[in-house]
A and B are shown apart, each in its own frame.
Chain A
């Protein structure tokens, strides 16, 4: 058989680790004859070992061993491998298989099955995520490299080198890999918890809705019964009674509607205590709006004086009666208040105290003193005005 030619030595080396079956393994998978075997296997549900078919045994289950991915039925596995490791019964394949490693095939295509196994191994090592990288381009390059290694491993190109890379990376970044793994596990559990939460909430909501509907229906029935009872017992215009009853019903119905949304809202709220949402932005309460003040809270109302309606100011008497001034918006009251605020502007400033306060904070150099003095000067001049 061509298999023997392909594998020099023909020895069936005992392999327990998948890690070290490299190039040979691939060449084995590449052989066209084997591809054909698998294709025919797919169409017919016949065990290639004992030739029993699904037709005769509907409960038949096929298993594969990740050593060589030859499939055979469960009973064959039991029969051949129960007494310890044995060579694969498929002609030409002489790998030694163990019963424990047999498992059900997930994918129809054994190549994909194998690919996924390799990927699992690679993904365990290369488990960085996007946040670890500064730019997207870096991350994409990383992904590209990883994919290259995986692809090579799967298709048997430079297996040695790829393996070395993989091992090397695993050695070098053991700590990091563990960390990432933990992180991923944590993320998975949070995700699962959140999913469960959401499901639970929607279930509650649905139940609440159903209860509500049921209640409404009951109410309506009761209302109708009421109308009939009243029709039976009360004297008076029948139509009038029916009308009243119907209006009452509608009213009740209307008031019932807003309630209907409440339970769902409260459901979400009640769960809030132990909710696991991550990455939600904190909501800041909108502060109640204060009255508008143009100078950011600075009050310019006079503290020290009360403006009267009228002062005896003969030099102004012409102005507050003259239409030419008034048309432009001149108001005598504004003038008075401005004069007063200017007059008392400096009253709340106590220069001495401020300077003393500054002295207390620490000793300062001569230049600072000069500056302070200058400040004082400025203040003084303000005050004086």
Chain B
């Protein structure tokens, strides 16, 4: 379908379009035109990705400046999905336009997913692949080879150098698989092909971390121009990603390994002093001059990047007392030893970076400034020593990262030392958490650098929370509803059991037998009436385990067993994958299955239960975070003081976004249908925080149901759904053909004209000034009264 938005012709690869997709594109275009940021919420399964891509590609091709698109998503599968959509879109464009556009798009993933080297690719762990790859591709290894030494090189990587650097791959859309196949064909490394071609691509699709984590972003995403369009898809968890990218946990074990690494470095230095002292001297001279290695900038295989954000890097020479290699190593050893002594404490400590530095200085005479240069100095040293087995130095690198961060940032971070794993543990297992509290710190460079940043997801209500937390101003903030020809999903809030006792996962009553029995009742009832798949979400693993064991005692599971196969998610990802596979098989073949999982687990985030895989989702209890966590407490306090976000507001926001995410799992398109049950008394008050599209489908009458009422409503709903539904009824209502679209546009224009005309008449009349004000006041009061207390 081809149509115009203002002057821009959009080619949409499907014959029909949803009204909300059109609205989404219009708002997107508005954002791009004004070069601002936006937050958009669009229901899951309404073709968010394709509308996003088709508009931005049209925009790119239409305007001469051809702003590059950086599309970031969360998981590998989402990246692949986006790439497939893009491929289909480009195919459609070629067909429609009659010629192939000059267009390149690549997906970038980790080395592990993109390696072709016969032995390296067999490694299981990603970090091992990284390290081994570096040892085969680093610049100095090649130099060694040229000097005639016997070292291994990766042939796939070497072949790249023979090609023209701006034309490593032909034009087109390159999926991960496509890259691998092409790489195998031409014997060239797909990972480095993608990395090096990023500058010459119109679209880049990769994970958040390549843009948000300063350790990676410095290397991968540094050279993008300012007018790039950055999209964060599935961005409802973006604040946590930001925080994680700047947080470090240090354990006793990692410190021990770091010490070993430091000792190794020491030995290497002594060795080098006896064999090749000139090299060390050379490095020393460079550091004296404060010169940064020119080659360092382009060194793809560098040991580590500076973890501090680009704005906070100190652009000056390395301090004198860590200039010499041996001084630096002893410096590191001292720092590690200090951390070890800190670990011996038997009570919880929470302190700010300045007070940590103060204490450090008193005890070990380590100043702040050399600490800040730790990461940089270590990188330089590793390069000079030409170390190849980099994975041995990983813990040391972690310590250096920590050192640099703690010395760079005074505010927005906190150090928490937890000597015991849990409250009741007797054996100390200390962990030093260095936690970022402010999500805005990591994402700030992105907002500063790029003119248009688009944050979008199926569930990011309430929208205004994100600009506040991430510290930006949005040009457009919009939440779209789902237009439906018939009500195809049924949200309900169940607050009471069939015995009228309230049900809640609140701490005081969660283990009450009556509450547990009521929850069990709810589960059995829905197992009876739901065809095929049923998904149940619990707030935590702990609660899930306790409730399941209680159900077992009450013989509830036996009843469920008569109707459905029972599967459980566990923290182990392989077990969960197996459970999922079985679940799908059971849904496709038999009476269906029930999957018991956790609201913050893997299942709730990335897995879709479309069509018969999920007909009902039960959300048992409000998925609050573990509020006793010290890290969370510190973050809440920080937000309270700096952003004026209340503790309770944030907790409830966070719980509701996870609940919404769980609910969204079951509905993946307009031809899908499903029941969404929120089973907790407290949901009643939090209703307003649900995404607009869910909230709109939730009538007041269904916000306070008991279990048997809910069963009745659900049965009626399923009966309605079982009537065959002709796709034709949707036409013009929830799907538009081109004619419908044109009609809509004409109507909008007419409306606008009418408004303009009315305004003009108003002006002509001259009056209506005070009247308008009054009217507004009334409306406001109405709105106020409608909001629940």
Contact = CB atoms under 8 A, between A and B. Distances in A.
Nearest to A244: B785
A249 B785 contact: no
A205 B644 CA distance: 11
Nearest to A129: B367
Nearest to B369: A130
B363 A106 contact: yes
Interface string A112-149: 10011001100100000000000011011111111110
Interface stretch (B335-343, B398-406, B486-494, B526-534): B335-343
A119 B341 contact: no
Given A144-B323, A151-B327, A249 B789 contact: yes
A15 interface: no
B288 A140 contact: yes
Contacts of A139: 320
A247 B320 contact: no
Contacts of A145: 320
A137 B317 contact: yes
A261 interface: yes
Nearest to B784: A250
Contacts of A191: 358
A142 B364 CA distance: 19
A61 to B, nearest CB: 13
A97 interface: no
Chain A: interface residue count, which band? 35 or more
Contacts, number: 87
B354 interface: yes
A238 B320 CA distance: 80
Given A119-B364, A154-B330, A247-B785, A209 B320 contact: no
B785 A147 contact: no
B288 A116 contact: no
B308 to A, nearest CB: 19
A243 interface: yes
Contacts of A246: 784-785, 789
Contacts of B333: 109, 112
Interface string B725-758: 0000000000000000000000000000000000
Nearest to A105: B341
A119 B640 contact: no
B324 A107 contact: no
B363 A136 contact: no
B16 interface: no
B334 interface: yes
Given A115-B334, A247-B785, A195 B355 contact: yes
Nearest to A188: B358
A259 interface: no
Given A112-B333, A119-B364, A147-B321, A205 B641 contact: yes
Given A202-B641, A209-B640, A140 B341 contact: no
A144 B365 contact: no
Contacts of B358: 191
27 contacts: A106-B363, A107-B341, A108-B340, A108-B341, A109-B333, A112-B333, A112-B337, A115-B334, A116-B334, A116-B364, A116-B365, A137-B317, A140-B288, A140-B318, A142-B320, A144-B320, A144-B323, A147-B327, A154-B330, A191-B358, A195-B355, A206-B641, A220-B789, A224-B789, A247-B784, A250-B787, A260-B644
Interface of B: 288, 290, 316-324, 326-327, 330, 333-334, 337-338, 340-341, 354-355, 358, 363-365, 637, 640-641, 644, 646, 781, 784-785, 787, 789
Given A147-B321, A195-B355, A250-B787, 12 more contacts: A106-B341, A108-B337, A112-B333, A116-B334, A116-B364, A144-B321, A205-B641, A206-B640, A209-B640, A224-B789, A246-B785, A247-B785
